[in-house]
Structure 1
Amino acid sequence: MAREIWQVVWWSRVGLFLAAWVDLALLPWGHVAPAFNPVANPLVLPWIRWDALWYTSIAARGYFSPAAWAFFPLYPGLIAGLHALLPVSLYTAALLISNAALVLAAGLLYRLARTAAGPEAARRAVWMLLLFPTAFYLSAAYTESLFLALTLAAFLAAERGRLGWAAWWTALASVTRSEGILAAVAVLGAYWRRHRWHWHREAWGLLWLPAGLAAFLGAQWVTAGTPWAFIQAQANWGRQLAAPWAGPVLALRQVVVTGSPLQPAAVLSMIDLGSALAAAGLWIYGVRRRLPGEWLVYWAALVLVDLSAPVAGGESPLLSMSRLVLVAFPMFVVLGMLAAERDRVQRLLVWTLPFLQATFLAIFATWHWIA
């Protein structure tokens, strides 16, 4: 099975890299200035877009701007480390890390899904992950694949009773993205099943859980004067805390009232709102199929956190939701279960998802916003 996963990841990435190369050659770009296109290699350039420039800039210069605190340090730190070790550019280093993490994440997803849904559904869960419309971000200079690999490692270690390791992976996930601390639900759930809430020496390993996030908060406090600099930095993108239903209501209003089907803002809102509704619908199906409780809690918490930080005045109130749901691994297990059990659903997904991913990749690679 490991060989098949490797082959699926490899050939899917080859296809995406070639498609992105063709997109650059044939389609008009949104930005053509050298400041937006810092590398000449046509296989690397399409993947260095939007947030990728922030991560590589932090890798090169540290937290050079108050806005940079919005981006957590593990991924840029790894980029800087690999760049120092190997004779490759920061941009190539970023892609090497992302794609290595994707291979790891695909293998971990299969192992974790196999215990809950069986080998056939697990196999198709990997396919659903790779075919998902925004799955090309797993190969770009973004944190999605690293975050996914670390959270999957935390859940798998917790399932196998290795609570210290699970807490360690959670700590690393929480310095990749703020939502990483949510993986603590797997560790705490495993501890409760083993010991209820009675003291046991394994509790010492749980001290790793807040270590990563606490270290980052402390670094912000010392450097920026507040431990909440990463929250304040989100204001640069218009994000603000709100009730979880505020974003969907604003997105629906954007689509139905203030927008029109031909306006980019309305299209983006439809994509992001559709992603949120699909995640919610699949979550309900996961409840009906009795997915592990920790999975459901983690999945719901991820979506609620993303819904609770809308961009009230932006083109899409649920900005980037189609990308943010990419790290909710139980969603792909549910899709794998549906594909394994219902041929009609599988055919629909296999035909529609790659088409959407190719379209979204063309938008992304040519410097137009998608997520």
Structure 2
Amino acid sequence: MNDLARRTTPSPTGAVRRAAPALVGYVAVRALGLVTLALWCAARGTSPHTLLAARWDSLWYARVAALGYGYEVRLPNGDVHSSLAFFPLLPWLERFGAAVTPLSYADAGLTVATLASLAAAWGIFAVADHVYGRRTGVCLVLLWAALPVGIVQSMAYSESLFTALAAWSLYAVLTGRWVTAGVLASLAGLTRPVGAAVVAAVWTAAVTSLLHDRCTPPADGVPWVRRALGMLIAPLGAAGYVLWVGRRTGRGPFGYLDVQAGWHNGFDGGYAFARFIAGKFTSFPAALAGLGLIIGVVLVIWLYVVCLRQGQPLPLLVYTGVVTALALCASSYFGSKPRLLLPAFPLLLPLARALARARPSRSAAVLGGVAVASAVYGAFWLNGSGPP
């Protein structure tokens, strides 16, 4: 192993056995959320299946899977919402699932998201277990499952798929599997625009490792060409799709930016988000929401600072920093920011480490309470504004 690898990688059977408590706990938390959603929907006369698989972005992914790219919605104000804004890996998997099973595109997407969420939970555990140990890994998975917007992990959205690819790519980096890390980063780049965060983590770790090897010959015998190959492969997915969109729109490298602009998505350093928060302080009820948003942003930044102080491995810090920056500093719909932060699971590591050090009874009580609150909020949220 290289200098980043601190533990011996277990066998596949041993890895499953070691991750079993985290995976069982993850399934239990998500099952609680789904049961709560079903009961809430029954009381309101709504359909949980529709909320999970056939609303908001789920419809766009299913439409791409069924019809390919090219669908647009022109709004009265002149904005154009194009399906080209949605990266292709999830629709490809939906199309494949619908082709080999009796499932509809929407149900295939729901199946992919369900399987991907389990893979994501396992990858998150593997990363935390490798760096901080098994108990921290279990606590991290349960915290991630019980996030307020954790219900998105059970929707036909791309967050679970992306998080799975990102987590396993980061694990591959930490254990010196550079080509695997590059391939997974490339697939993550075909899933969401924030795939750039995974690419940045792979590149930073590879360059740092190469520089380290110039000073200290590697003990693991990993040739530099594997690191270079991983670096080369990592950006191919995102770059390939962005260039394809540019060619299709006739705008070259700027084509995808134009597509995102039609959705009012862009990177403005957080200016639009700051104006949105400031606008909440025009009346008393709205001011409470504004204060809550400020507290939320401060909490996210504080957690990242704690991650820095605790000395997380550089790939995790780079990945989390890019995901957080893109989520908070984008000019996209502001209600989607919690969802955009969902892949930033290393932010929860300080909390997971604290729970792992606490008495098991106390940790169980905290995690149980958080899981219940998440289940109730998720049901309320999906039956209300939901994730745009």
TM range (shorter): 0.7 to 0.9
**Cα deviations across residues 58-95 of structure 1 (Å, max 9, x unaligned)?**
11111222521221111111111111111111121111
- Tell me which of 75, 97, 105 is aligned to 2:120: 105
1:250 lines up with 2:275 in the alignment: yes
Do 1:125 and 1:334's aligned partners in 2 also have CA atoms closer than 8 Å? no
Corresponding residue pairs, total: 349
Q: Which residue of 1 aligns with 2:106?
A: 91
Question: Which residue among 200, 203, 220 is the counterpart of 1:188?
Answer: 203
Give 3-state SS (helix, strand or coil) of 1:320's partner: helix
Rounded to whole Å, the distance in 2 between the matches of 1:271 and 1:141 is 28
Q: CA deviation at 1:335?
A: 2.0
Which moves more between the two structures, 177-186 or 93-102?
177-186
1:127-174 deviation line (CA, Å, top 9, x unaligned): 101111111101101111101000111111111111111111111101
* Aligned match for 1:260, one of 277, 280, 284: 284
Query: Is 1:164 aligned to residue 190 of structure 2?
Result: no
> What residue in structure 2 maps to residue 239 of structure 1?
265
Q: Does 1:220 align with 2:240?
A: no
Instruction: Give the corresponding residue for 2:336.
Output: 320
1:129 matched residue in structure 2: 144
2:320 is paired with a residue whose SS is helix
Which blocks of at least 5 consecutive residues in structure 1 are unaligned? 30-41, 312-316
**TM-score of the aligned structures, taking structure 2 as reference length:** 0.81
Aligned equivalents of 1:251, 1:266: Cα separation in 2? 13
Matched, 1:45 2:56: no
Q: 1:200 aligns with which of 224, 227, 235?
A: 224
Change (3 A) 1:224 1:272: farther
Aligned match of 1:82: 97
Alignment partners' CA distance in 2, 1:370 and 1:272: 16
- Per-residue CA shift, 1:309-367, capped at 9, x if unaligned? 225xxxxx633111111100211222211222356995785365334423432234325
Q: Distance in 1 between matches of 2:364 and 2:59?
A: 37
TM-score (norm 1): 0.85
Name the structure 1 match of 2:8.
Answer: none
1:171 touches 1:208 (CA, 8 Å); kept in 2? yes
- Choose the corresponding residue for 1:27, options 15, 26, 44: 44
Distance 1:78 1:273, change over 3 A: farther
Q: Give the Cα separation in 2 of the matches to 1:45 and 1:345.
A: 37
The secondary structure found in structure 2 opposite 1:146 is helix
AA in 1 matched with 2:20: R
Please name the residue that 1:308 is paired with. Answer: 329
Which of 230, 233, 236 is equivalent to 1:211?
A: 236
Partner of 1:279: 300
CA contact (8 A) 1:151 1:170 kept: yes
In the TM superposition, what whole-angstrom CA distance separates every residue of 1:41-68 from its partner, at most 9, and x where no partner exists? x552230221111111111111222521
* CA–CA separation in structure 2 for the residues paired with 1:22 and 1:61: 34
**Corresponding residue of 2:129:** 114
Root-mean-square deviation (Å):
2.7
Does structure 2 conserve the Cα–Cα contact (< 8 Å) formed by 1:150 and 1:170?
yes
CA distance in 1, matches of 2:379, 2:348: 23
Aligned to 1:360: 377
Q: Hey, what does 1:35 align to over in structure 2?
A: none
1:296–1:132 distance in 2 versus 1, CA, 3 Å: same
Moved more, 300-309 or 143-152: 300-309
Q: What amino acid sits opposite 1:323 in the alignment?
A: R
Aligned-pair CA distance for 1:266: 6.5
Partner of 2:60: 54
Partner secondary structure for residue 327 of structure 1: coil
- 2 CA distance for matches of 1:345 and 1:279? 24
Structure 2 spans left out of the alignment, 5+ residues? 1-17, 73-80, 215-222
> In 2, Cα distance between the equivalents of 1:230 and 1:155?
27
Inter-partner Cα distance in structure 2 for 1:355 and 1:231: 40
Give the 3 Å change call, closer, same or farther, for CA 13–347 of structure 1 in structure 2: closer
Question: Post-superposition shift, 1:248?
Answer: 4.8
> Against the structure 1 CA distance between its residues 234 and 204, is the aligned structure 2 distance closer, same or farther, given a 3 Å change threshold?
closer
Contact kept, 8 Å, 1:102 with 1:149, in 2: the verdict is yes
Q: What is the match of residue 338 of structure 1?
A: 354
- The one-letter code of the counterpart of 2:321 is A
Paired amino acid for 1:340: A
> 1:66-125 CA deviation, whole Å, 9 max, x = no partner?
521221111111111111111111121111111111111111111110122222111100
Residues 345 and 237 of structure 1: is their aligned pair in 2 closer, same or farther, counting only changes over 3 Å? farther
